[in-house]
Amino acid sequence: MTDRAQSAFALPLAQADPEVAAAIEHETLRQHEGLEMIASENFVSEAVLEAAGSVFTNKYAEGYPGRRYYGGCEFTDVVENLARDRAKQLFAVPGVALHANVQPHSGSQANAAAYMAVLEHGDTILGLDLAHGGHLTHGHKLSFSGKQFRPTFYTVRKDTERIDYDELESIAVREHPKVIIGGASAYSRIWEFGRMRQIADKVGAKLIIDMAHIAGLVAGGAHPTPVGHAQIVTTTTHKTLRGPRSGLVLCDQELAAAVDRAVFPGQQGGPLVHIVAAKAVAFKEALQPDFAAYARQIVANSKALSAALQAGGWRIISGGTDNHMMLVDVFSQGILGSEAELALGKAGITVNKNAIPYDANPPLKPSGIRVGTPALTTRGMKESEMHQIALWIGKALESRNDDAVLARIRGEVGEMANHFPLYAWRREPVTTAV
């Protein structure tokens, strides 16, 4: 390598690419100065960030520990084995021989591998309707899951806005699915995994639970576990589990070979070894005693926020929450979810617009917003902060067309955020504009 090339290769990011460096710095400030309340987002530790940015990003490692298609994988095997062992320990259930595959790049790929392990093209699957809180990969027509398989759906009741397990059973008996899928992206109540397994067994189906949203709550004992009920459990690792953006598959030992083949070579090639290393770190963090307290606080904060919003006159779907998130019906007060998302963003509060069950409005202009507490809880906020945040949300929505009011709230939000700093290594902002 020439001296000139070597010099360029060794430059810090701020010099090598100031535009990207500035974008990263501005995003760091955005996360620090505002309130991240998207239910599927969280903040990782500095240790997880360090592992994710490590030299393992340079390594190809197709295959599995001890059975690689590339040389030089001895330390890759170390971190993957650590991740697998810690995942099994984290979600262990007495009497269950659990297998873990830590290679999926995302929750969607974890789901794809789970389906591939037990389904053939055209088989019937039964999942929660996207419009009622489900996920794209649970059978939506625009997803691979709705294209490769025959999708059927269960819903929530119109009166309670909760899953009707009797209806789920009736649909399963009628449709004879090969797989029943549990889990959601916008459902705020406890899942009855035992009942779902009974239904699956009755119709000869496999039960797959996508616990992406609640994995951290499960790990911390704040939500019942699907392990021991479902033959396959999938999850992301970056939501309540507080790890890097990635996926994970857990399964009964008898399905281990099929799941591993479905992940590689079935769904993807080489794993992202730096992210596998970061997952190992996150799983170790989740095994510590204080993680259980964190999981309980997420739920306590969610319940406090829900109650405070209801006290302010806002309708919460299903009447409340048992987990980390809630859907707020803002259209009941004449506000579209897209309008609410925009107004709250101007006030320094990040949420996402979301359909509510039986929504009469279109997906991009829905009737609700989805609000979650994992990231705020990571910063150390508790019930008293949730009460104040509920007041800000209400004021911002009522004043959604008044930029002066929204700016004032944003300043108050920033003052609170400064009391709960994010990363100790945060530098002063760079001056390059983006």
From residue 120, alpha-carbon distances to 42, 110, 221, 249, 253 in Å are: 35, 17, 35, 19, 21
Active-site annotation holds for 395: no
Q: Which of 28, 33, 60, 88 is catalytic?
A: 60
Q: Cα(402)–Cα(419) distance, rounded to whole angstroms?
A: 27
User: Who's near 181: CB < 8 A, 6+ residues apart?
Assistant: 125, 126, 127, 128, 138, 139, 208, 209, 210
Active-site annotation holds for 60: yes
Q: Which of 86, 197, 245, 346 is catalytic?
A: 245
Active-site annotation holds for 77: no
Q: Which of 239, 279, 353, 370 is catalytic?
A: 239
Q: Which of 124, 137, 235, 236 is catalytic?
A: 236
Question: Is the torsion defined by CA of 133, 134, 136, 141 positive or negative?
Answer: negative
Active-site annotation holds for 210: yes
Q: Which of 62, 85, 383, 402 is catalytic?
A: 62
Q: Cα(129)–Cα(156) distance, rounded to whole angstroms?
A: 9
Active-site annotation holds for 187: no
Q: Cα(329)–Cα(346) distance, rounded to whole angstroms?
A: 20
Cβ atoms 246, 223 nearer than 8 A: no
Q: Which of 210, 322, 339, 341 is catalytic?
A: 210
* CA-derived radius of gyration, the chain: 22
Q: Which residues are catalytic?
A: 60, 62, 210, 236, 239, 245
